């Protein structure tokens, strides 16, 4: 029986095109509430693809993805979007910020979707920026940022609505040791407060802080 906060992929296969090769075949992983699970594996083995599947941005060709036992991989798009907006915080490998908008407006995007009162969202955004070691004016446009700054802003956006599931694709890939430590403190404290955290990473620092590491083979 799946517990609350449990994220499971069971025998999942995925191919980007009907005739193309499978990115991976019959992968199974399970992350429990309170766990910081790290996914590792060589470049191109499908880590980002698997995270998109877990984040309900793609649908598996075979197999099932369940959240607390509910098979959302086959749910209607409306239900998936609603779950994604409320319960999943996703950090893209390339941050995927809207560079024409301010840092604050990027971070607050999920808060607007979830109708969090603005004052509360601004305060949370400011606290999160502090915690990941970013000292930038929130009213600044999100362009001309370093990779490490953009990644940390993307992490703040993922966390602003306190989602049960946090999925982060190489979130410390562009960070110096001190910033990586701060980001890991934050991710570990998410897991410690009962969230379910899945991180794709090669970093030994990340692996050292993880509850478990799972190697993906393409």
Ligand X SMILES: Nc1ncnc2c1ncn2[C@@H]1O[C@H](COP(=O)(O)OP(=O)(O)O)[C@@H](O)[C@H]1O
Task: Determine which helix (DSSP H) or strand (DSSP E) holds 199, and give its type and residue range.
Answer: strand 196-200
DSSP 3-state assignment of 151? helix
Exactly one of 48, 73, 106, 124 binds Mg ion (CB under 5 A); that residue is 48
Q: What is the rounded CA–CA span in Å between residue 208 and residue 161?
A: 27
CA angle at residue 201 from 28 to 12, to 5 degrees?
A: 20
Query: Which part of the chain contacts Mg ion (CB under 5 A), choosing from 39-47, 82-90, 138-146, 182-190?
Result: 39-47
Identify what 157 binds: Mg ion, ligand X, none; CB under 5 to 8 Å per kind: none
In the bound state with ligand X, the residue whose beta carbon lies nearer, of 24 and 67, is 24
* CB of 168 vs Mg ion, minimal distance in Å: 11
Q: What is the rounded CA–CA span in Å between residue 95 and residue 15?
A: 24
In the bound state with ligand X, the residue whose beta carbon lies nearer, of 27 and 103, is 27
Query: In sequence order, what are the residues at sequence separation of 6 or more whose Cβ sits closer than 8 angstroms to the Cβ of residue 51?
Result: 39, 90, 167, 169, 198, 200
Instruction: Name residue 30's beta-bridge partners.
Output: 8
Query: Which part of the chain contacts Mg ion (CB under 5 A), choosing from 44-52, 127-135, 147-155, 191-199?
Result: 44-52
Site string for ligand X, 7-36 (x = CB under 6 A): ---------x------x-------------
Binding site for ligand X (CB under 6 A): 16, 23, 41, 43-49
Binding site for Mg ion (CB under 5 A): 47-48
């Amino acid at each position: 029986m799946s517990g609350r906060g449990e994220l499971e992929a069971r025998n999942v296969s995925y191919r980007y095109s009907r005739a193309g090769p499978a990115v991976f075949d019959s992968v199974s992983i399970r992350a429990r509430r309170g766990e910081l699970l790290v996914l590792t594996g060589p470049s191109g083995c499908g880590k980002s693809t698997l995270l998109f599947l877990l984040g309900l941005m793609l649908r598996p060709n075979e197999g099932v993805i369940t959240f607390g036992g509910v098979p959302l991989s086959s749910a209607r798009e409306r239900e998936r979007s609603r779950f994604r907006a409320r319960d999943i915080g996703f950090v893209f490998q390339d941050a995927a910020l809207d560079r024409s908008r301010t840092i604050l407006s990027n971070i607050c995007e999920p808060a607007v979707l979830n109708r969090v009162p603005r004052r509360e969202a601004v305060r949370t955004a400011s606290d999160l920026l502090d915690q990941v070691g970013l000292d930038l004016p929130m009213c600044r446009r999100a362009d001309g940022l370093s990779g490490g700054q953009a990644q940390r802003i993307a992490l703040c956006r993922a966390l602003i609505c306190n989602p049960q599931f946090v999925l982060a694709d190489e979130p410390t890939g562009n960070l110096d040791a001190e910033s990586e430590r701060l980001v890991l403190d934050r991710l570990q404290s998410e897991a410690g407060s009962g969230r379910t955290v899945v991180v794709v990473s090669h970093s030994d620092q990340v692996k050292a802080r993880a509850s478990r590491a799972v190697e993906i083979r393409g």
